[in-house]
Amino acid sequence: MARKRTPTKDANNHNREGKANSLEPTTKPSSSKDNVKQQPKPWLKTSHLTLVTIFITFITGLVCYSVYPELTSLTSIKRKPMPSLRKIVDSNQNNDILQRDISQEGLRNVFQPDKVSEIVSIFGQAPNLYRASDEDVAKLRAKFLELKTRKEEEGESDNSSQDVKNSNTVDLEPKRHKSLQSISESLKSSQIKGDIPEHDSGVDKLNHGLNRPKSNSESVETPSSKDSESLSDNSLSKNQDIDIRPHTVDSKGTKNMEVLKSTSAEKKIINSQENAPQRKGESKKKGPIILSAENPHMSLDFNDIQSESATQKELKHPNKEKLDTKQIKKKEIKSSTSRKNSEEVLTNQKMKGLKLSETTKENAEKKTDEQRNSVKQKQSSKGSSKSHVGSGPSETEFTASFQRTFVPKKTFYGGRRIAPVELLNQKPSNSSVKVYLFDDFLSQQECEGLMRVHNHHIKANTKPPILCFDSLNTLRKHIRDAGKRVKVTSQIFTEGTSCVNESFSLQLQSWLNSNWSYSTAFYPGESKFSTNVAGRLQQAMGLKPENGGKFQITSYPLGKAYKTHTDCTLGGVDKRDRVVSVLMYLNDAEDGGETRFPDLGIWVKPRRGRAIVWNNMSPSGGCEPHSRHTASIVKKGKKYILIRWYYYQSFLGLGQRPTPPYLPERDEHQAKVSCDDYDNGSCRWYDEWTYEHLLEYPNNKLNIS
């Protein structure tokens, strides 16, 4: 290194050494005096200089290549379509934290915990797959082959070979770690109680009917040719990221197990889009990667949010002077469009009919769908489009088309490079869901500010919340589990709602010990933060700011979770569907709290500032069942997240949902607690925000019509 920094001196040193060696090949060193006197032969000097120059060029080349591997176009290797462990980005090498985080945590994110230990047991140490050398890859491959061969020799009849330790078999399916047994069990129970049942006919049908994305849809939108900063390259070249595909190993051998190499994972990420349909009119671009040096990390002013949040009233009703409280309340009752709320709340008819056997959220969603469809039918039979508040395109006008909703790009902010990491499916499936991970997407200051604001909002809701249930059964289960022997009938619900009255809500609050997660929301344009983050997401993923909805902060106290669900509505196509979800972790949950995609075998650990982004839609524009995910139980500490959903079109143009939930009148400082399927994630407290709040927000800084 010293040589590199001071080439002149090094050259001199070389000359000196070279001369001493060539002239005096004995052990006796020549004195410096001798050296000064002795003149090097000119041919010797030239050759040494040439050598040094070659050396420096080589080193410079190496450095350049490792920093910007995409600049060097090496041998193309034909890409195989089947993805595997992960594709990962060559992120900022100078950032130790990012590197450490990616190599250690990222590994755990991608593999199930015991998969990591399996690999550790193969390598004898935690392999840094992020920067694994050819040798490491070869080692993994060789070991894998060895184990596989051994297994075959020992006879595959031994079913107990499931036990990795006993059989030394590399289990290709992700498994759960022992230490996470309790999570696993709880999740199992959530699977039974609250999850989409594995054999749920609707889901099943969709699962089986779901094929790999097809390419021929006329309605498919082609990526904009303007999208020049998107990374696109079909070639994979020598410097490697790893793509080992054990699940492609056939029963006879391992010839299908591939180790792919790439100049950078970003390329791979884009390459992975080759797995997506080749869209009509879409030309596969090849070309230079344009790195944007722009710094979107504008100064963030949390005082902005804080000062707003200091007066909850103002924050909740920014246009307060124009609306008197009663008006607002009325509107709230009629038009709250908090999606989860609306999906979880049954209508009056449902409550009265007490056809409560379908207790899953998905079923509730299906019901909501049915209602929606019947509304649609009514609308179309009348031949008119329903005019919702904020009237967007009418229901009948909407045709979902697969949109290139996100394009991962390199981003710079705060002088750092944030690179997307694609987390690959660990389970063979025909899922079209792609999950991308960004570390340090939010700064510490942002995370802390958001948590502060969130806590402040909760405290500002001085009145006890109103409790609502998706079914009478759910309410009964809660009462039973609280150890109370109280009989309740449907009469307990406030007329026309699925919520209980104020005094019983208070009673329940103490029985349930306020055992719920908390969600508060704010809307785009209401703080510098929302504008900044919307811009950052646009830059990082190409997400249109105007298509993003509210920003929802959720905190999970110890022991809380959120059941397996999809963010979109299964079984239909709706313009209000959440096309893309962006989940940002505001803190490190000390233990537990992982976001789990059961169909993909992907777990993501909460880490402060980390963001994950995934699509919920299949290429046909419908809700992709494989996008279902779970917030695992928080086993230690507390978990805070910020979530934002992106829609097909401008959020403001969507209009309110056709079937708004029926909610009782509530005070301004009164949140709603919504309990559905009985589970650890059964109840969630919502700081009530409505669609009107957004529309009435006077200075819509995003200026969306």
Site residues (CB under 6 A) for ligand AKG?
554, 562, 567, 583, 595, 629, 631, 641, 643
Q: Could you tell me where the beta strands, DSSP code E, fall in 386-431?
A: 411-413, 416-418, 421-423
Binding range to Fe ion, per CB under 5 A, among 180-188, 498-506, 565-573, 690-698: 565-573
The item of Fe ion, ligand AKG, none sharing an interface with residue 631, based on CB under 5 to 8 Å by kind, is: ligand AKG
Residue 501 backbone dihedrals phi, psi, to 5 degrees: -70, 175
Task: Find the shortest distance in angstroms from Cβ 203 to ligand AKG.
Answer: 17
| Position closest to Fe ion via CB | 567
Q: Which residues of 514-528 are buried (b: 16+ CB within 10 A; e: fewer)?
A: ebbbbbbbbbbbbbb
The item of Fe ion, ligand AKG, none sharing an interface with residue 569, based on CB under 5 to 8 Å by kind, is: none
The item of Fe ion, ligand AKG, none sharing an interface with residue 533, based on CB under 5 to 8 Å by kind, is: none
Task: Find the shortest distance in angstroms from Cβ 218 to ligand AKG.
Answer: 32
Rounded to 10 degrees, the C-alpha dihedral 223/225/231/237 comes to 100
Cα–Cα distance, 174 to 84 (Å, whole number): 12
Task: Find the shortest distance in angstroms from Cβ 13 to ligand AKG.
Answer: 58
CB 239 within 8 A of CB 264: yes
CB 617 within 8 A of CB 569: no
CA distances from 670 to 493, 553, 667 (A): 18, 17, 5
344 binds Fe ion (CB under 5 A): no
Q: Which amino acid makes up residue 37?
A: K
Cα–Cα distance, 136 to 85 (Å, whole number): 15
Task: Find the shortest distance in angstroms from Cβ 567 to ligand AKG.
Answer: 5
Task: Report the residue number, 302 or 640, with the smaller CB distance to ligand AKG.
Answer: 640
Burial (CB count <10 Å: 0-12, 13-18, 19+), residue 265: buried
Task: Find the shortest distance in angstroms from Cβ 629 to Fe ion.
Answer: 6
Cα–Cα distance, 222 to 597 (Å, whole number): 28
Task: Find the shortest distance in angstroms from Cβ 643 to ligand AKG.
Answer: 5
Task: Report the residue number, 505 or 566, with the smaller CB distance to Fe ion.
Answer: 566
Task: Find the shortest distance in angstroms from Cβ 609 to ligand AKG.
Answer: 15
CB 474 within 8 A of CB 676: yes
The one-character DSSP state at 500 is: B
| Three-state secondary-structure class, residue 496 | coil
The item of Fe ion, ligand AKG, none sharing an interface with residue 553, based on CB under 5 to 8 Å by kind, is: none
Task: Report the residue number, 617 or 643, with the smaller CB distance to ligand AKG.
Answer: 643
Task: Report the residue number, 438 or 645, with the smaller CB distance to Fe ion.
Answer: 645
Task: Report the residue number, 69 or 622, with the smaller CB distance to Fe ion.
Answer: 622
Task: Report the residue number, 175 or 607, with the smaller CB distance to ligand AKG.
Answer: 607
The item of ligand AKG, Fe ion, none sharing an interface with residue 643, based on CB under 5 to 8 Å by kind, is: ligand AKG
Task: Report the residue number, 79 or 628, with the smaller CB distance to ligand AKG.
Answer: 628
Cα–Cα distance, 373 to 364 (Å, whole number): 14
365 binds Fe ion (CB under 5 A): no
CA distances from 705 to 338, 386, 575, 695 (A): 21, 18, 17, 10
Task: Find the shortest distance in angstroms from Cβ 646 to ligand AKG.
Answer: 13
Task: Find the shortest distance in angstroms from Cβ 108 to ligand AKG.
Answer: 15
Task: Report the residue number, 213 or 681, with the smaller CB distance to ligand AKG.
Answer: 681
Interaction mask 522-561, Fe ion, x per CB under 5 A: ----------------------------------------
| Strand-pair partners of 611 | 438, 584
The item of Fe ion, ligand AKG, none sharing an interface with residue 595, based on CB under 5 to 8 Å by kind, is: ligand AKG
Task: Report the residue number, 86 or 629, with the smaller CB distance to ligand AKG.
Answer: 629
Task: Find the shortest distance in angstroms from Cβ 205 to ligand AKG.
Answer: 24
Task: Find the shortest distance in angstroms from Cβ 154 to Fe ion.
Answer: 43
CA distances from 515 to 303, 617, 673 (A): 31, 32, 10
The item of ligand AKG, Fe ion, none sharing an interface with residue 265, based on CB under 5 to 8 Å by kind, is: none
Query: Quick one: how many helices (H) and strands (E) in the chain?
Result: 23, 21
Task: Find the shortest distance in angstroms from Cβ 420 to Fe ion.
Answer: 20
Task: Report the residue number, 169 or 517, with the smaller CB distance to ligand AKG.
Answer: 517
Task: Report the residue number, 90 or 567, with the smaller CB distance to Fe ion.
Answer: 567
Q: How many residues bind Fe ion (CB under 5 A)?
A: 1
567 binds Fe ion (CB under 5 A): yes
Q: Could you tell me where the beta strands, DSSP code E, fall in 386-484?
A: 411-413, 416-418, 421-423, 435-438, 463-469
Q: Which residues contact 203 (CB under 8 A, 6 or more apart)?
A: 196, 197, 362, 570, 625
Task: Report the residue number, 169 or 341, with the smaller CB distance to ligand AKG.
Answer: 341
Q: In what order do the strands lie in the sheet with 602-604?
A: 562-565, 629-631, 595-597, 602-604
Tallying the residues shown for the chain, one arrives at 705
Task: Report the residue number, 243 or 567, with the smaller CB distance to Fe ion.
Answer: 567
The item of Fe ion, ligand AKG, none sharing an interface with residue 554, based on CB under 5 to 8 Å by kind, is: ligand AKG
Task: Find the shortest distance in angstroms from Cβ 567 to Fe ion.
Answer: 4
Tokens of 362: 């998905």
Map the footprint of Fe ion across residues 452-481, applying CB under 5 A: none
The item of Fe ion, ligand AKG, none sharing an interface with residue 402, based on CB under 5 to 8 Å by kind, is: none
- Residue in 524, 457, 464 with CA at minimum distance from that of residue 315: 457
Cα–Cα distance, 394 to 378 (Å, whole number): 13
CB 319 within 8 A of CB 325: no
The item of ligand AKG, Fe ion, none sharing an interface with residue 562, based on CB under 5 to 8 Å by kind, is: ligand AKG
CB 265 within 8 A of CB 243: no
Binding range to Fe ion, per CB under 5 A, among 319-327, 463-471, 567-575, 656-664: 567-575
Task: Find the shortest distance in angstroms from Cβ 1 to ligand AKG.
Answer: 44
Task: Report the residue number, 130 or 651, with the smaller CB distance to ligand AKG.
Answer: 651
Cα–Cα distance, 381 to 255 (Å, whole number): 59
Q: Which residues bind Fe ion (CB under 5 A)?
A: 567
